[in-house]
Amino acid sequence: MKNTKKNKILLPLLAGLVIMLSACVGVFGDSILPGSSDDPVVSKSYVDSMSRFTPIEVKAGKSVIGGEGSEMILRSGEASAIGNGENGVSDVTEGKDLLDGYWVFQNHLLLVPRADGRGIKATTDIWVMVKGVYTVQ
């Protein structure tokens, strides 16, 4: 073989480069890259808005419909649960499912498991603390 000095230098460099690239593929090949479409970047204000309870006033006859994972705490007034026909809103405080029409107790933490129309309906004017996505209808 000609240029054996060059081969002695290039072969280890090439082998090192292959090992480094293999390591990078192993590290990033199966994981999601930060900032990619599979792991989008979110703003601090969005994270803050989703991690705090927001007090809202709801007039009698109106409903608060929660998005998936939304949390609610009835602070004043009277309200009933809105189910989806099969399941209700999870009363985490008492450890039971509040089916459609069930009485909602004040200061109990409620969890809406899916965005399928579940929430609470105000029987009287109410104040409710909500964390997560919700609509008032």
Q: Could you read off the pLDDT of 72-106 as tens digits, one per residue?
A: 999 999 999 999 988 999 999 999 999 999 999 99
pTM beyond cutoff 0.75? no
55 pLDDT tier (thresholds 50, 70, 90)? very high
Hey, which residues does 103 pair with through a beta bridge? Answer: 80
pLDDT in tens, 3-53: 666 667 777 777 777 777 666 555 555 566 666 777 777 777 777 666 789
What is the three-state SS of 55-117? EEEECCCCEEEECCCCEEEEEECCEEEECCCCCCEEECCCCEEECCCCEECCCCEEECCCCCC
